Amino acid sequence: MTTLGLGLPRMHKEAGERRDFLPGILRAVADLDVRVVVEHGAGSAMGYTDADYFAVGPSVTIGSNAEAFAQDVVLTLRAPDRLDVMRPGAVLVSMLHFPTRPMRVARLLEFRLDAISLDLLTDDLGERLVVDGRDVAWNGLEAAFDVLERHWPEFAEPTRPPIRVTILGAGAIGKDAVEAATKYGNLDRAGRLAHLPGVEVTTIGRNLTGSAGYMKDRFSATDVLVDATQRRIPSHPVVPNTWLAYLPEHAVVCDLVVDPYLPHESPPTVRGIEGIPQGDLDRWAFAPDDPAWDDVLHEVDRTNRRWVVSCYSWPGVHPHECMELYGGQLAPLLRALLQAGGARGLTADGEFLERALWRASLRTWVGLHTVAV
Amino acid sequence: MGDRSARRDASALVLGLPRMHMEAGERRDFLPDVVTAADRAGAAAIVLEHGYGTGMGVPPEAYLAASPVARFAAYDEVMSSDVVAVIRCPAEPAMRAMRPGALLLTMLHYATRPRRTRLVAELGLRAISFDSVVDDLGRRQVEYLEAVGWNGVRLAFREIARVHPHFAHPSRRPLRVTCLGAGAVGAHAVRAATRYGDHDLRAELAANDVPGVEVTVADFDLTSHEDYLLGRLEMTDLLIDATQRLDPTRPVVRNPWIAALPPDAVLLDLAVDPYDFSIDPPRTKGIEGVPHGDLDRYVFAVDDAAWSELDGRVDTRERRLALSCYAWPGLEPLDCMRVYGRQIEPVLGVVLRVPVDRLDVDSTDPQERAVARAELGRWLS
């Protein structure tokens, strides 16, 4: 069998995007008959050098972005902007979101690529195998409490009552947000404040969020409001902008969902909490007088404002922890993919890792869905 | 399957799957998928105890169809296999019947069962504790804490629905749940509680505009404040113990504090810590006085004899309807074993392929590393 090539190109997104796969993931494939090309400078924003990757084994070489993309299997966390740099028949392993990115699927097919979508890797019971929901919650709550601690004088007062956090939504992210909130989003801070009354966290689902009277009372007793909802109808906000007026002036809004404003979609998508700005890895905290509020679409009501923390990619706030997690989750799957000789070698009735890869492959997705090319 | 059996080599191992022989309500056995997985992993034979799966309505033919090397045998023969896999740890006599050098795969809980751990070693057995199989980030690979939260919460709401006069009426206020503890079990309990532990019930009530459930979590930095906790209890319809106490000799909710709860409130014990007066100081439950349940008996009315049957040193004067079960996931055995089966498949894949003496915590295979961390010898050293 011909030796497979595995490429690890860098992402080249916004300046704050510091993530690359760490050398550890390569150790999982070091004993396989695979040659690895890592793009020069990978991991440098997290303190790694080319030598750290090179040290994994003799099969690892350092190359250019083009050389990394020219391999049989290409691994990169966020979907690349260009696909024409890959070879026909190669496999792209990335967060590809087939269900919500039909144009991307069409382009993958146009370039005759195979693909494994990391967000579709699930076990037989539907649980995602490569996911960092925990860091979405912890990093978002950490940012919210950073703001609260900086701007609310009572925060560290020994006589203050418990801090009150309201979480909208009890799905996977809401579940992680509960624990993060009880620890001020940061274990060191929780230790430092252990002498104070802690954090009371209240979670409500959609069978309460629709009740305006209830929500008015709840908001008035909320110091941190967390949006962790999964809306059925994304064209309607869960929290109309007028409700933000019920929050105390010092309150912080923590946006973990980070739905975009998409006014031209049909139906249009609006944010879960109406009027708030959307952040990214370059900037995620917005004061009530931040100009970012004025950049929100003019037809959206942004009259009522509080401090907001919002980031399109919360896990990337702490890149090393994030990539350690993804690397650990992905390592056995990457190994199984390479052992199978790529996506073509996957079958629906193989061992459990192979089954997971098969379900997440482009060829399976295309086989199950009508795709316009 | 024929091809797989032809590939088996002389070193292939025999896997034994015994039944659990616990309380009558314990109906769980691994499903035929596990037999398929063991066959795929190269087991020389898969020996199941007579009656395996019958508690869940799985016929013997389903197991035999899962592998050409599967067969049924008596308990003693099953326990004499090279590898024995069972969820709850067998009783001491059964372990003594195993062959020295054989491998036991079960929930051994090394840290909290030191006497049993020593016994396994003294018998010359090798062991992998399912609860110690963790990935590189320390996350358990064989667990079903979700079922702990959901099964307990669902049954608790059934009891609330039974006694609450306006449970399904649109005019009632939101129900208030207080969850003590924000760890893994608590997180599942919160999610379950916002949905009454029952998706169908939630949909039905929502369709009738019945207000939902407000779930408040208090961790130890709040529960240690007596005034706060008593105020919280006064407005609680369902109190959940999902704590992981650093000091199991001290309850989170002392028995007299239960009096602060409304008379119709319900207590739900998900932590299921036992009372233990054989050690000094004695260990107690997180909510003092709640009876300790199992799969045969898990709902305790205030006049249930179980309260009085507790050791006399446990204060049980204040009571509310309580639910407690040592094995919450076992209440839905099929669902539970479907999940455990999927989770142990990679464990079987490792132990049937790699001799236990050669398990390597630095292996390039992440699954082997996870299994190696759970090996008894590593724990003892």
A107 closest CA partner among A133, A83, A132, A78: A83
Mean pLDDT of A45-70: 96
CB contact under 8 A, A199 and B222: yes
A76 vs chain B: nearest CA distance in angstroms? Answer: 20
Instruction: Assign A146 a pLDDT band (cuts: 50, 70, 90).
Output: very high
**Residues A283-329: tens digit of each pLDDT:** 999 999 999 999 888 888 999 999 999 998 899 999 999 999 999 89
For chain A, give the percent of residues with pLDDT over 70. Answer: 97
Residue A124 has pLDDT above 90, yes or no: no
The whole-angstrom separation of Cα A354 and Cα A358 is 6
Across A170-179, B98-107, B193-202, least confident range: A170-179
A73 vs chain B: nearest CA distance in angstroms? Answer: 19
Residue A276 has pLDDT above 90, yes or no: yes
* A119 near B CB under 8 A: no
Q: Which residues of B touch A57 (CB under 8 A)?
A: none
Block residue for tokens 């004993």? A31
Residue A203 has pLDDT above 80, yes or no: yes
Residues 6+ apart with CB under 8 A from A165: A181, A199, A200, A201, A202, A222, A223, A224, A225, A226
The confidence score (pLDDT) of residue B252 equals: 95
ipTM for the whole complex: 0.84
The residue of chain B nearest to residue A200, with distances taken between CA atoms, is B218
CB contact under 8 A, A28 and B182: no
* A183 near B CB under 8 A: yes
Q: Which pair of tokens denotes residue B246?
A: 């650093």
Residue A355 has pLDDT above 60, yes or no: yes
Instruction: Assign A231 a pLDDT band (cuts: 50, 70, 90).
Output: confident
DSSP at A349: T
Instruction: Assign A373 a pLDDT band (cuts: 50, 70, 90).
Output: very low
Task: Give the number of other Cβ atoms within 10 Å of residue B100's Cβ.
Answer: 8
A81 vs chain B: nearest CA distance in angstroms? Answer: 31
**Residues B42-57: tens digit of each pLDDT:** 999 999 999 999 999 9
CB A142 within 8 A of CB A183: no
B299 vs chain A: nearest CA distance in angstroms? Answer: 26
Residue A138 has pLDDT above 80, yes or no: yes
Instruction: Assign B6 a pLDDT band (cuts: 50, 70, 90).
Output: very low
Residue B1 has pLDDT above 50, yes or no: no
CB A42 within 8 A of CB A20: yes
Instruction: Assign A118 a pLDDT band (cuts: 50, 70, 90).
Output: very high
**Residues B197-228: tens digit of each pLDDT:** 999 999 999 999 999 999 999 998 899 899 99
The confidence score (pLDDT) of residue A172 equals: 84
**Residues B150-166: tens digit of each pLDDT:** 999 999 999 999 999 89
Mean pLDDT of B332-341: 95
DSSP at A61: E
B13 closest CA partner among B355, B367, B365, B368: B355
**Residue B283 burial class via C-beta count within 10 angstroms: exposed 0-12, middle 13-18, buried 19 and up:** middle
Mean pLDDT of A53-81: 95
The confidence score (pLDDT) of residue A66 equals: 97
DSSP at A211: -
Mean pLDDT of A200-211: 92
Beta bridge partners of A63: A39
CB contact under 8 A, A178 and B367: no
CB B17 within 8 A of CB B34: yes
Mean pLDDT of B180-191: 93
Q: Which amino acid is at A210?
A: G
The confidence score (pLDDT) of residue B8 equals: 56
The whole-angstrom separation of Cα B299 and Cα B157 is 12
B219 closest CA partner among B192, B193, B250, B242: B242
The whole-angstrom separation of Cα A182 and Cα A164 is 10
Instruction: Assign A371 a pLDDT band (cuts: 50, 70, 90).
Output: low
The confidence score (pLDDT) of residue B230 equals: 97
Residue B3 has pLDDT above 60, yes or no: no
**Residue A290 burial class via C-beta count within 10 angstroms: exposed 0-12, middle 13-18, buried 19 and up:** middle
CB contact under 8 A, A352 and B365: no
The whole-angstrom separation of Cα B45 and Cα B65 is 14
Spacing of C-alpha A80 from chain mean position: 16
Task: Identify which of A182, A205, A332 has the shortest CB distance to residue B182.
Answer: A182
Spacing of C-alpha B136 from chain mean position: 23
Describe the strand order of the beta sheet including A163-168 as a list of residue ranges: A285-286, A307-310, A252-255, A224-227, A163-168, A199-204, B213-218, B175-180, B238-241, B266-269, B321-324, B299-300
The whole-angstrom separation of Cα B321 and Cα B315 is 16
Task: Identify which of B187, B211, B220 has the shortest CB distance to residue A175.
Answer: B187
The confidence score (pLDDT) of residue A266 equals: 65
B26 closest CA partner among B36, B34, B18, B38: B18
Instruction: Assign A367 a pLDDT band (cuts: 50, 70, 90).
Output: confident
Instruction: Assign A128 a pLDDT band (cuts: 50, 70, 90).
Output: confident
Across A130-139, A292-301, B119-128, B186-195, least confident range: A292-301
The confidence score (pLDDT) of residue A1 equals: 53
Mean pLDDT of B66-73: 98
* A171 near B CB under 8 A: yes
* A30 near B CB under 8 A: yes
Q: Measure the CA angle with vertex A237, ends A232 and A242; round to 5°.
A: 155
**Residues B276-294: tens digit of each pLDDT:** 888 888 889 999 999 999 9
pTM score of the predicted model: 0.86
Residue B113 has pLDDT above 90, yes or no: no
B230 closest CA partner among B238, B219, B222: B222
The whole-angstrom separation of Cα A84 and Cα A113 is 10
CB contact under 8 A, B190 and A199: no
A279 vs chain B: nearest CA distance in angstroms? Answer: 27
**Residues A101-117: tens digit of each pLDDT:** 788 999 999 999 999 99
Mean pLDDT of B48-77: 97
